[in-house]
Amino acid sequence: MSDKQTRFDMPPHTDVAWCPGCGNHMLLTAVKEALDDLGIDPRQLVMVSGIGQAAKAPQYINANMFNGLHGRALPAALGIRLSNRNLVVVVESGDGDMYSEGGNHFLHAIRRNFDVTMIIHNNMIYGLTKGQASPTSPIGMRTPVQVKGVIPEPFNPLAVAIALDAPFVARAFAGDIAQTRSVIAEAIRFKGCSIVDVFQPCVIFNKLNTYKWFREHTCSLPEDHNPEDRMAAFALAIQHEPLPLGIFYRNGKRALYEDQAGITETPLYRQPPPGDDEFEKLIDAYR
């Protein structure tokens, strides 16, 4: 873990509830450093999450926090952004949270394309509830619930995002803090809905997808990959072996939801209520 100080650091001795050696620690470092790189003011940043081990991340970042319900980070993030578009909104949560309980919001957040960055801690397991399969668990993985091994096809967030024409789709590996940090910085800088699925080893419950496994089964995207090429991005997203890391897809052409919906710079909390004359006019229509 790097020792760089960031303005997003919490006071020393903050009790971090994650296990020693967990990939979450590295990802947290990468996120804080990326935020720092971008020079974001912590008071203008809202970290939004659901519930899970990953979803605790905002508790360890010096910024505003909305740690909501399991699976419901994205709608909350939408409400926040639409109410105050000056805020930087980052959603950080787990694979179960975002792809299982929150799967529907994942689809529809991408469809809207409001300015949010999703960082998904993809440990291919339910950590906080002690090791059941997540939507990204590999077929055959045994758990106390999946006694005969996982049956369903793993959810492929990148392929689905590209199918939805998500404008920024990337994958990183928490074990590589530097690259993760730079991909996350790019994603936050991107104006629109950006998705960063981050492979994150859970050292307690996932004995298959370890640091070693990820190192052996991942690679960089081909040097010549053009992220504006949707078909190429899709082909790489469905590639199984090895699993590429980096920015798969970028589509600068999608309009921003906030712009289309006419969201102004004035946050709603500053918006004056209708004047008495406006109210009178409203009533007048019913005379």
DSSP 8-state secondary structure symbol assigned to residue 203: T
Q: How far is the C-alpha of 91 from the C-alpha of 258, rounded, in Å?
A: 17
**Gap between the Cα atoms of 211 and 230, Å rounded:** 30
Find where tokens 């950590």 sit: 127
| Residue 180: strand, helix, or coil | helix
Size of the site for Mg ion (CB under 5 A): 5
Q: What angle do CA 172, 145, 93 make, to 5 degrees?
A: 30
Contact track, ligand SF4, 189-228, x by CB under 6 A: -------------xxxx-----------------------
Select the binding partner of residue 95 from another protein, Mg ion, ligand SF4, none (C-beta < 5 to 8 A, by kind): Mg ion
* Rounded CA separation 45/183 (Å): 18
**Considering CB distances under 5 to 8 angstroms, the limit depending on partner class, which of Mg ion, its own copies, another protein, none binds residue 113?**
its own copies
Helix, strand, coil content of the chain in percent (nearest 5): 35, 15, 45
Give the separation between CA 278 and CA 87, rounded to whole angstroms.
29
Q: How far is the CB of 32 from ligand SF4 (least distance, A)?
A: 17
Answer whether 33's CB lies under 8 Å from 4's CB. Answer: yes
Work out what residue 159 binds among its own copies, ligand TPP, another protein, none; the CB cut-off runs from 5 to 8 Å by kind. Answer: its own copies
Residues 125-184 that bind ligand SF4 (CB under 6 A): 127
97 binds, among Mg ion, ligand TPP, its own copies, none (CB under 5 to 8 A by kind): ligand TPP
Considering the complex, state which of residue 126 and residue 249 has its C-beta at the smaller distance from ligand SF4: 126
Q: In the window 232-271, what residues touch its own copies (CB under 8 A)?
A: 234-235, 237-238, 254-255, 257, 260-262
> In this structure, are residues 268 and 84 in contact, taking their beta carbons and an 8 Å threshold?
yes
Q: Which CB, 96 or 167, lies closer to Mg ion?
A: 96
Residues 54-83 touching ligand TPP, rule: CB under 6 A, are: 54, 70
Helix (H), strand (E) at residue 197: strand 193-199
The residue ranges that bind ligand SF4 (CB under 6 A) are 18-19, 22, 24, 53, 123, 127, 202-205
**What residues line the site for ligand TPP (CB under 6 A)?**
51-54, 70, 94-97, 101, 121, 123, 125-129, 134
